[in-house]
Amino acid sequence: MNNKKFSVVIPLYNKEKYIKRTIESVLNQTFTDFEIIIIDDGSKDKSCEIVESINDPRIRLIRQENGGPSKARNRGIKEAKGAFIAFLDADDEWLLKKLKNHYEFHSKNPDVLWSCTGYRVEGGKRVEQIIYPYNDVLDDALEAIIDGLSITSSTVVIKKSIFNNKDFLFNESMKRSEDREVWYKIACLYPTVGHLRKILSIIHVNTLGSLCATGLDETDFSFLSLSTRIEKQLSCIENKDKKRFLGYLQHLNQKKMLSLWGWNHSFKQISKHFEPYIHNNILIFLIRFDFMPLIVKKVFVKLYLATVGRYR
């Protein structure tokens, strides 16, 4: 197979209800210079059969034992022959001109090594458009993230050469926040990022096994250690910028901890994970003395988060 402009990496695990839709959203792209690398991560349903039923030479299906989405993405990066890696989760989809827009942007800005787009979130009755107000080349990705730029896997395109540095591969020991870890590391060393101010991806949440689902039955607290995991890359930026970004991560952690507290019947069982990371006396009090009825907690959380807002 000749080298392609894009390698579309899709980690697959038990997505028989969605994978055909996801693949077709790539095959229907108006820009056609791509390959699709699907890493089946030990699926136990008919996902692989559905992939194999789609007859297109640009599709490669690679099977491996279950190791999680990070291991699957890393395998896809290793197998990729394209100049750029485009990630897509197996229950998400792209709009028709997604790759065309990235191709035009990077052709115009060859020194910019990664880019992302706006997206639409769909799940149940929820439909929400997530789009950063600034378009084209952003000079400081970390500042943009603090300011509200939302980066998610199915919106990102990254020059494959970036992954020659193994620090930028996905952390296979983590089940959640592993993607944010990659974006933040890249933002430290490659602060210039492209943002295409268009809705070009659809992120489906609350689907069975969704990578965006947040069920508490499988709560993973890896988000708490994210600042430690990117410490090496943060050391490369100015101290004032490092301090500001660490403050942003701490702000996100406190909002996440409070949300978990507000929706969990038995928060005391998991509170031990949080206390070392809390720097807010109100939160410490609430966590240690978890006495409120659940309905009261939910109301309190909504009011508190409404006053906290975005990090400034």
* pLDDT tens-digit readout, 1-45: 468 999 999 999 999 999 999 999 999 999 999 999 999 999 999
Domains and CATH numbers, the chain: 6-213 (3.90.550.10), 238-308 (no CATH)
Q: Please give the residue that has the higher pLDDT: either 102 or 281.
A: 102
CB environment 43-79: b (16+ within 10 A), e (fewer): beeebbebbeeeeeeebbbeeeeebbbbbbbbbbbee
The pLDDT of residue 195: 98
CB atoms within 10 A of CB 210: 19
Determine how β-strand 114-123 pairs with β-strand 126-130.
antiparallel
Closest CA to 311 of 140, 115, 143: 143
Average pLDDT rounded to a whole number, residues 154-165? 98
Q: Is residue 174 over pLDDT 90? A: no
List 9's β-bridge partners, or say none.
37, 87
State the pLDDT at residue 216: 39
Report the pLDDT value the prediction gives residue 88, as an integer from 0 to 100: 98
Pairing of strands 84-87, 157-159: antiparallel
The pLDDT confidence band at residue 164, using thresholds 50, 70 and 90, is very high
pLDDT at 109 exceeding the cut of 50: yes
pLDDT value of position 8: 98
- The per-residue pLDDT for 211 is 45
What pLDDT is recorded for position 213?
39
Measuring CA to CA, which residue among 57, 44, 37, 39 is closest to residue 16?
44
Question: Using CA atoms, how far apart are residues 207 and 72, in angstroms rounded to an integer?
Answer: 19
Res 259: pLDDT: 76
Q: What pLDDT band is residue 269 in, cutting at 50, 70 and 90?
A: low
Per-residue pLDDT at 67 exceeds 80 = yes
Question: What letter represents residue 220's amino acid?
Answer: D
Average pLDDT over residues 263-267: 62
pLDDT single digits (tens) 273-309: 776 666 666 666 666 666 667 777 777 777 766 766 6
pTM: 0.89
Pick 116 or 256 by higher pLDDT: 116
> Residues of the chain with pLDDT > 70: what percent?
83
Q: What is the C-alpha to C-alpha distance for residues 182 and 197, in angstroms, rounded to an integer?
A: 22
Span between the terminal Cα atoms of the chain, in Å: 48
CB hemisphere CA count around 28 (13 angstroms): 10
- Separation in Å, CA 61 to CA 36, 41, 132: 8, 11, 34
Q: How far apart are CA 91 and CA 19, in angstroms?
A: 6
pLDDT value at residue 1: 47
Phi first, then psi, for residue 213 (nearest 5°) are -70, 150
Task: Give 183-237 pLDDT, tens digit per residue.
Answer: 999 999 999 999 999 999 999 997 655 444 334 344 677 888 899 999 999 999 9
pLDDT value of residue 225: 87
At 110-145, the pLDDT tens digits run 999 999 999 999 988 889 999 999 999 999 999 999
Mean pLDDT lowest among 66-80, 100-114, 265-279, 291-305: 265-279
| 3-state SS string for the chain | CCCCCEEEEEEECCCCCCHHHHHHHHHCCCCCCEEEEEEEECCCCCHHHHHHCCCCCCEEEEEECCCCHHHHHHHHHHHCCCCEEEECCCCCEECCCHHHHHHHHHHHCCCCCEEEEEEEEEECCEEEEECCCCCEEECCHHHHHHCCCCCCHHHCEEEHHHHHCHHHCCCCCCCCCHHHHHHHHHHHHCCCEEEEEEEEEEEECCCCCCCCCCCHHHCCCHHHHHHHHCHHHHCCCCHHHHHHHHHHHHHHHHHHHHHHHHHCCCHHHCHHHCHHHCCCHHHHHHHHCCCCCHHHHHHHHHHHHHHHCCCC
